[in-house]
Structure 1
Amino acid sequence: MDFTVNNIRVDRAAAIGLNAEDIIVLSWFIQFSNSSSIERKYIKKENDMGYWINYDTLIKELPLVFNGKTEKGNKEKLRRMFKGNLSKVLMREQFSNKKDNSKGGSKIFIVLNRFVYESLLIVDTEIQPKTDNEVMIHALGIVLNNNIKVQLSKMDESLLELAIAIAKDNGKKDQFKYIKGIYNNLEKDIKKPQESANSQGPSDSKNTDLHNNTNNSIPQIDDSINNNYTKNVNNENEDPREKIIAKQKQDYEMISRKNKFHNTNASFINYTPDELERHLQESQKGKFK
């Protein structure tokens, strides 16, 4: 688990040399800079706003950090912190209040290095999985974001599981775009009307070539498996969509097993998404009555 303090990742803060006291001062500044009454000044050199910091106020509000016996000692500690690693994220700019020859002091304005600060935060893309689909994708090492979450919420769990299996075999399990492409092809196959055994029509020539080519052919499914599937199709209580998904999984698993024992390049996963879609459609012809 990545430990955080006020949304700041402690491991990332430590990586740039910040300690616990630096994180406390940084957190205080973020809260302080959001106040509407704070004095601001545009810092041209940094092309950003600077915020006036009263050292006495800061020291008073953070007794855990500035617990020295003397005011001078506490102010010296704060100056050292602003000159140390804390300066990587909080930049100190000093401006004189003197006008012409009049006497006056100076004001310290602090500018936040937004790039460094944001690199310390927990980003929105690091979303923890909640649904089964999100858990499956997250387990592949894919970082979840809101866009992926929306897509996963509309995806069938069984079909996604099959798409992931194909992506794994093709060495692309960590590419959500590839998995989604396989999923879309499988889903299209389900939505297409299935042809009966009596109206198969002529087979696609490219698919025929793929089946006849020794190096790219797809092993045929055993008759026993086809017979068992036909029995399942005749079960009126079974969801037709689930039947098709089950058949797709069955085809894929059988082909995967046969490929392990044949010294050929035949593989279900070597097809492009379009070829994969055509094969799935072809393999299901005649299986529905």
Structure 2
Amino acid sequence: MLNLTMIGTGGNVPTPNRFCSSAFINYKGRKILIDCGEGSQISMKKIGCGFKDIDLILITHLHGDHINGLLGLLATMGNSEKRSPLYIVGPRGIKRAISAMMVLWEGLPYRLVVIEKPAGSFSINAPILKEVEISSLDLDHSTECLGYSLYFKRNREFEPKKALENQVPKRLWRHLQAGQTFHIDDLTYIPDMVLGKPRSGIKFSYITDTRPINSIIPFIQSSNLFICEAMYGDDLDIGKAVKNKHMTFREAANLACKGQVDQLLLTHFSPSLDRPDDYIENARSIFKNTKLAYDGINLSIGYPE
């Protein structure tokens, strides 16, 4: 089960009703933050997300509404007694940005590992994150910007009957289930002796800020949840969307439809968009299973059957 909470759903600047872009994922104790706009830690405190337990932060790009909350959050995490390493992934320039922040906050009590401009699919080399396969995609914005797709792997099903048929000692069951191999008395015990067929995991995709380029479609294909920027609700604002390299509700829904995702969650609304629900049908007429994000919305995504 994957649990998602939207920390901030606004674009450009925070407003009285919306903080800037940020999403929080909790998966089997692994806590991942995507973007950290201004006001993120205030929203996180109101919602009740734990600061010190964040393992990974993914930054899409270096515009202020996606990163201005990071300096304060790093300090708060240290004050909250975080001691385990924190991994930060971002586009070109993320290392320089983090170094600049450290001028104002020296002596963090935990290790920062910064990964700049990853290519293709990768996993973080840490036990708590190794089950998460991450992919990045270059988007079309006014600065270098990355989209992210996360695949949360699912363990194969344990089959006691198979273990008994293969005469596997019970003391080894849980170790083989975890992927270990044993050589005992000239016999070798491997995970296949106790495990069934592979099972599908959960695919989560996050796209902001960008125009709706074709490469997004295969990138988000078959996502269980697709979170997409929708800066403008009104179709008449397409000129603004093109000029500022953002999307309308309808354009985001078209991507969801072509990518055959299960569910679309719209976010990153313009400060001038006071009532996104006035335009929801512009998206739902294209992709029915569309929801509007708001600060604090919580969604749970289970494994596919």
Which one has a bigger Cα radius of gyration?
Answer: 1
Richer in strand (by share): 2
Between structures 1 and 2, the one with greater helix share: 1
Q: Same fold (TM over 0.5)?
A: no
TM-score (norm 2): 0.19
Which structure has more relative contact order (CA 8 Å, sep 6+)? It is: 2
- TM-score, normalised via structure 1 length: 0.19
